[in-house]
A and B are shown apart, each in its own frame.
Chain A
Amino acid sequence: MNENPFDITKAVHYTNQQLLDYWVNLPGDSGFEEMINPKSQMPMMIVGGKGSGKTHVLKYYSFSLQKLRYLENNTQSVSNQISEKGYLGLYMRAGNLNAKKFKGKIHTEEAWQAIFEYHLDLFISQISLKVFVDLIKGEPHLLKDQSSICEKIISLFDKWPEDKIPKTLEELLNCFISFQKQIDYKVNNSSLLGLPIEGLDILVTGAKLILGIPKILKEEFVFLKNVQFTYLIDEFENFTETQQKFINTLIREIEAPVSIKIGTRPYGIKTLETFSGGESIRKGAEYEEVDIDGIFRNRPSDYSNFIKQICLKRVSESGFLIKSNEALRNSLEIFDYDNLQKKLLTLKRIGHRSELERKLPIEELKEIQIIFDNLNYNSNFLYEKASYLIFYRSWKKAKSEFEFKKESELISKSLHNFIQGRELKKNKHRKILEKFKYDFIDQLSVENNLPPVYWGLDNFIRMSAGIPRLVLQIMKYTFSWANYNEERPFAMTSKISINSQREGLLQASDWFIKDAQIPGKFGVTVNQSIHRIGQYLQTLRYSNTPPECSISSFRIDKTILSPQNQKTLKFLTEYSYLIKTSDRQDKNLERNDNTYQIIGILASIWGLSLSQRGVPNLNIDLAKLIFDDDDETGKQFKLFINEIDSKYNAPFLKKKSKPNKGKTTETPSNQTKLL
């Protein structure tokens, strides 16, 4: 069995060497270096959803990886190269602090905050000390006498509790570790067992170590003359609101040679307030914000190349001979319309023809045959689907008795003209095919139990909506299936089958939902809401007369939602189930509409489009049916879907079914699981 190149999908699970080996810079004019600008004094919030690659980026600029890169480079010493680059990255994960433990009824919030600040000061300072212990070990000439630097650092403390004064940075580091352990021990016992914290001296206050140590080090080491200390604080969302306030205060008060870059999820910023009179830090003036997701989504071509490079690195690191983007793309089977056309010709019964046969309210066989002769066109099923759509639309519009045969004759003429290239400007087939071509392809696949067409690396990249980990997950499961199916994935002569890709995508979408799932009732509400949105859009897209083309999105005026439903919508957006694609002001209606698209990895579950063109509106009643979570709404939603089913599908029953409390209804005919 071959090793799966996509097995690891989270940067925290990589070794430093793997982080370096798998590093890919964002192509285009502005790569990560320009984006993050690690030697810039300006503090920065790097905002990105789960799996956007924040950790990888932040770690890449940390000392551990700087050192690996500089050693590989081998032209100059590590210190010289740090000096040349102008920054020293000091990385920490908030998750490692277990910041939530600083609470408990036995002490006041202020006391806990003071302990936390002291703990954080020690914790972050250890990172600086470790870096310099390491540097001096590699380059002992950098500092011959360490005792004076130790004395200066000790002088930052309000009180030094040890009789012995450390003479080296390593000894000093051990003192810091021991201070921190003491805090951990006392805090854990207080937090977990409710015991009072006794005998804990706060030896230093006000982030003196975080801000002071870099200054002292800079004075002592010549190579640091033009070097900035860049604290890279990851997982900001793991701090409590008060703790974030402290970090925000640091951002406000920070001065050379220190800067802070913070990695956070979009919903991770709980406050922008500081302890400086409760004022907030101001974007643009006091910190910059980099929205990784937005950058990836707004630069689709760069993003696509970036992801391909990531995949290529992984594949080639695993020993496969795939060396170019083209070879990588070609190693996955992709959709080919000609194959679909050929496949359809081999079928005994074709879905949309059988459906019309069932629905036509005509008994005379000869007339039925004429209608089908007019509508069917074996040479191109897309043209035929266009004929069917025109036919169904006319049927739907018909006010009096619909003349099926006559309409089919008109449609046949229109098709004939289209094929001949006559009167194209007004031609219905042309207009419809321009808009609905991809809808028809998906419908033809689904109606005939053939796999829909979300295959190939380019589609997987589109499905990820700027979240690189999603592509890696899809590729991970796809590779695993291809291996199981003995397709020799990434061997030069073979292709990963559509079947393996389909199973891989299905598993990845299942993973996506489970990964974001939260326990409890709200988790059920969230899950239910996204399924209802998907089901609603699916019903429209796979109807006889879809109201829009390429359906995968909806429009809503958020202000019409109840607070609880707004919370659900916010969660769906924050966890990337839905991608907010635009804000639009409708002046005529005096409303602010937001447009949301179901993320591609989930869109495939309901067979929705990966493009965004037609955007149905969710009015207040429909929004309630989708987001409310009581049992009655569930029943009402099913009735509503039946209503939609009747409205958009022949024979277009106009009668509106009234919600019938306590009575469940059948699932509509075209509600199928598509993958």
Chain B
Amino acid sequence: MKEFEDDLRRKLKILSDIIWDGKGRKSTLDQWLDNFTEDDFKVNILYLLTHFIYFNKIQVTEMLKSLYRDLYRYPILSKIRIENGNSFDSKIIEPLFNVELSKTRFVGLGGAGESATHLLYPFGHINDIHPDYLINYKEIKDILKEDKKVDNFIFIDDLAGSGTQAKKYLKDLLTELKIEYPNISFTYMVLICTTKALNTLEELGIFKEVKAVYLLDDSFKAFDDKSRFYANENNPSFIDLEATKKYSGEYGKPLYNFIWEVKEGLDTVKANSMADRDKLGFKRGELLLGFHHNTPSNTLPIIWFNEKELPWIPIFPRFNKVYKKPAV
């Protein structure tokens, strides 16, 4: 076991050096491991961490490029070319594309503290999009009233783990707008989307299309029957999916219970039930991924839980969300 653990630590060092932007260095790793009391469990936790998928700044930049180029620009170019005799002439194509672009607004999803809102500026900068075309979802109504040309809204998000966020912010708003403006198109574009979230968002019926740069199936869930992280037949016998799932849940539950009860103010019974659901990531996310700008709640909470009131050291901290307005 010691040799296997040493190999895992060597792998984690390489990940830290090369992929994780220097995060997860030894002292942080050791402090995080100290959260777990069972020594035998630590090797499983280390194993889990070696499968953590981290999207660093370079990767997020490339994904933002891909989102604009592959999911937005190329389909429009393709349509323009077909309508113009399969032309390759940029003098014909580019002006027509610019007309389409001028009728489009890219919308950051969520409030000021949400990561998707923070992505909007780099998205515009990387893809050379005029700042006027980048808006917050709260501005949609005003734009529709003021600028009659705009007929296409693209919602930009970093991750759709369950689809809850988009539903929370957009369901009522877009349902109402679709009645008032039936010719307006609303599209949801996301860097990473689980198949579950894709189905949820499509079933909402408010988007013309839901598109993702990366689509994650259930094999990306840490403890799914088809989990890719445990697919290696050569794993030693002490690498145990079921035991790690059990322990991760046991450690994760009080963390999420704290969020629901103390931070969100739910009553004890309700908080306990919610924590039971979210102990392996928001809405049973079971994800093992994070971005350089934040770690999503759908990832296992043992990875990211970062509330100063509890003595838990995260390995990839999630930036604290301000859950409630302070009393005035």
Main secondary structure of the interface of B (DSSP, over half): helix
A447 part of interface (Cβ distance < 8 Å): no
Q: Mark out the residues of chain A between 475 and 497 whose CB falls within 8 Å of any chain B CB in the assembled complex.
A: 480-481, 484-486
Near A by CB (< 8 A), chain B positions 1-39 give: 3, 10, 13, 16-17, 22, 25-27
Are A503 and B10 in touch, CB under 8 angstroms? yes
6 closest cross-chain pairs (CB), A and B: A485-B26, A484-B13, A1-B22, A486-B27, A484-B25, A486-B25
Q: Could you say which residues of chain B place their CB within 8 Å of the CB of A507?
A: 10
Question: Known: A503-B10, A673-B3. Is A480-B26 also a contact (CB below 8 A)?
Answer: no
Question: How distant is A5 from chain B, measured CB to nearest CB, in Å?
Answer: 16
What are the residues of chain B within 8 A of A503 when measuring CB–CB? 10, 13
Which of chain A's residues have a CB closer than 8 A to the CB of B13?
480-481, 484, 503
- Inter-subunit contact B3/A485 (CB<8 Å): no
Residues of A with C-beta under 8 A to B16: 484
Whole-angstrom distance between the alpha carbons of A484 and B16 in the complex?
8
Among residues of A, the one whose C-beta sits closest to the C-beta of B13 is A484
Binary per-residue interface labels of chain A (242-257) against chain B in the complex, 1 for a CB within 8 Å, 0 otherwise: 0000000000000000
Q: Would you call A484 and B3 a contact (CB within 8 A)?
A: no
Chain A residues within an 8 Å CB radius of B25:
484-486
Q: How many B residues, CB 8 Å from partner?
A: 9
For A481, A484, A507, the residue with the greatest tally of chain B CB atoms inside 10 Å of its CB is: A484
Beyond A1-B22, A503-B10, whether A480 also contacts B17 by CB under 8 A is: yes
Chain A residue, CB-CB nearest to B26: A485
**B residues lining the A interface (CB < 8 Å):** 3, 10, 13, 16-17, 22, 25-27
Residue contacts A-B, CB under 8 angstroms, 17 given: A1-B22, A480-B13, A480-B17, A481-B13, A484-B13, A484-B16, A484-B17, A484-B25, A484-B26, A485-B25, A485-B26, A485-B27, A486-B25, A486-B27, A503-B10, A507-B10, A673-B3
Smallest CB separation, B56 vs chain A (Å): 14
- Considering only residues 560-617 of chain A, those with a C-beta below 8 Å from chain B are none
Q: Give 1 or 0 for each of A1-20: 1 = CB within 8 Å of chain B CB.
A: 10000000000000000000
Q: A455-514: which have CB < 8 Å to B?
A: 480-481, 484-486, 503, 507
B21 to A, closest residue via Cβ: A1
Determine the chain A residues whose CB is within 8 A of the CB of B27 once the complex forms: 485-486
Closest-CB distance, B57 to chain A (whole angstroms): 15
B131 nearest CB across to chain A (Å): 34
Starting from the known contacts A486-B26, A503-B10, 15 additional A-B residue pairs (CB-CB under 8 Å) come to: A1-B22, A480-B13, A480-B17, A481-B13, A484-B13, A484-B16, A484-B25, A484-B26, A485-B25, A485-B26, A486-B25, A486-B27, A503-B13, A507-B10, A673-B3
Give the chain A neighbours of B17 by CB distance below 8 A.
480, 484
Q: How far is the CA of A507 from the CA of B11 in the complex (A)?
A: 12
**What residue in chain B is nearest A500 (Cβ atoms)?**
B26
CA distance A481 to B16 in the complex (A): 11
Q: Please name the residue on chain A nearest to B9 by beta carbon.
A: A503
Q: What chain B residues lie within 8 Å of A480 (beta carbons)? A: 13, 17
- A484, B22: Cα distance in complex, Å: 8
Tell me how far the C-beta of A326 lies from the nearest C-beta in chain B, rounded to whole angstroms. Answer: 28
A485 to B22, CA, bound (A): 11
CA distance A673 to B25 in the complex (A): 26
**Chain B residues positioned under 8 Å from A485 (CB to CB):** 25-27
Contact residues, A9-50 vs B (CB, 8 A): none
Closest to B2 in A: A449
Complex Cα–Cα for A486 and B22 (A): 11
Contacts of A673 in B (CB 8 A): 3
Report Cα–Cα, A151/B256, bound state, in Å: 87
Q: Which residue of B lies closest to A449 (CB)?
A: B2
Nearest CB in chain B to that of A480: its residue = B17
Report Cα–Cα, A484/B28, bound state, in Å: 10
Please report the C-alpha to C-alpha distance between residue A481 and residue B25 in the assembled complex, in whole angstroms.
10
In the bound assembly, the distance between CA atoms of A480 and B10 in angstroms comes to 11
Q: Nearest Cβ distance between residue A488 and chain B, in whole angstroms?
A: 12
What is the CA–CA distance of A503 and B27 in the complex, to the nearest angstrom? 16
CA distance A1 to B27 in the complex (A): 14
CA distance A481 to B12 in the complex (A): 11
CB distance from B143 to the nearest CB of A (A): 44
A485 and B10 alpha carbons, distance in the complex (Å)? 11
Residues in B neighbouring A486, C-beta threshold 8 A: 25-27
Instruction: Name the residue in B3, B16, B26 with the highest tally of chain A Cβ atoms < 10 Å from its Cβ.
Output: B26
Tell me, rounded to whole Å, the shortest Cβ–Cβ distance linking A181 to chain B. 33
Chain A nearest CB: distance from B139 CB in Å? Answer: 41
Q: How far is the CB of B90 from chain A (nearest CB, A)?
A: 34
Q: Which residue of chain B has the shortest Cβ distance to A482 in the bound complex?
A: B26
Whose C-beta in chain A lies nearest to the C-beta of B22? A1
Nearest CB of chain A from residue B23's CB, rounded to whole Å: 11
Q: How far is the CA of A673 from the CA of B17 in the complex (A)?
A: 26
Cα distance A205–B37 when bound, in Å? Answer: 80
Contacts of B22 in A (CB 8 A): 1
Q: Which residue of A lies closest to B29 (CB)?
A: A484
- Nearest A residue (CB) for B16: A484
Nearest Cβ distance between residue A287 and chain B, in whole angstroms?
46
Bound: A142/B3 CA distance, A: 68
Among residues of B, the one whose C-beta sits closest to the C-beta of A510 is B10
Complex Cα distance, B27 from A507, in Å, reads 21
For the complex, what is the distance from the CA of A507 to the CA of B7, rounded to whole Å? Answer: 11
Residue of A with least CB distance to B24: A484
Residue ID in chain A nearest B30 by CB atoms = A485
Q: Could you tell me the distance in whole angstroms from the C-beta of B126 to the nearest C-beta in chain A?
A: 25
* CB-defined contacts of A481 to chain B, threshold 8 Å: 13
Residues in A whose Cβ lies below 8 Å from that of B3: 673
CB of B65, distance to nearest CB on chain A (Å)? 26
Specify the chain B residue showing the minimal Cβ separation from A675: B6
In angstroms, Cα B3 to Cα A481, docked, is 18
Least Cβ–Cβ distance between A501 and chain B, in angstroms: 14
Bound-complex Cα distance A486 to B31 (A):
13
- What is the minimal beta-carbon distance from B227 to any residue of chain A, in angstroms? 28
Q: Give A485 to B25 CA distance when docked, in angstroms.
A: 6
A220 to B27, CA, bound (A): 68
Alpha-carbon gap, A503 to B10, bound state (A): 8
Question: In the complex, what's the smallest C-beta–C-beta distance from A151 to chain B, in angstroms?
Answer: 53
Contacts of B26 in A (CB 8 A): 484-486
Minimum Cβ distance to chain A for residue B54 (Å)? 16
A123 to chain B, nearest CB (A): 39
A201-218: contact bitstring with B at CB < 8 Å (1 yes, 0 no)?
A: 000000000000000000
Nearest-neighbor residue (CB-CB) of A503 within chain B: B10
A1 CA to B26 CA in the complex, in Å? 13
Q: Please, how many angstroms separate the alpha-carbon atoms of A484 and B10 in the complex?
A: 10
Complex alpha-carbon distance, A484 and B17, angstroms: 8
Q: CA–CA, A481 to B17, complex, Å?
A: 10
Within 8 A of B (CB), among A86-103: none
Kindly list chain B residues whose C-beta atoms are within 8 Å of the C-beta of A484. 13, 16-17, 25-26
Q: Which residues of B contact A1 (CB under 8 A)?
A: 22
Task: Please give the distance in Å from A140's CB to the nearest CB on chain B.
Answer: 48
B160 to chain A minimum Cβ distance, whole angstroms, is: 33
Compute how far the CA of A507 lies from the CA of B17 in the bound complex, rounded to whole angstroms: 14
Give A619-651 as 1s and 0s: 1 = Cβ < 8 Å from B's Cβ atoms.
000000000000000000000000000000000
Q: How far is the CA of A486 from the CA of B17 in the complex (A)?
A: 12
Determine how close the nearest CB of chain A comes to the CB of B280; give it in whole angstroms.
Answer: 29
CB distance from B207 to the nearest CB of A (A): 42
A503–B26 Cα gap in the complex (Å)?
Answer: 13
The minimal Cβ–Cβ distance linking A263 to chain B, given in whole angstroms, is 34
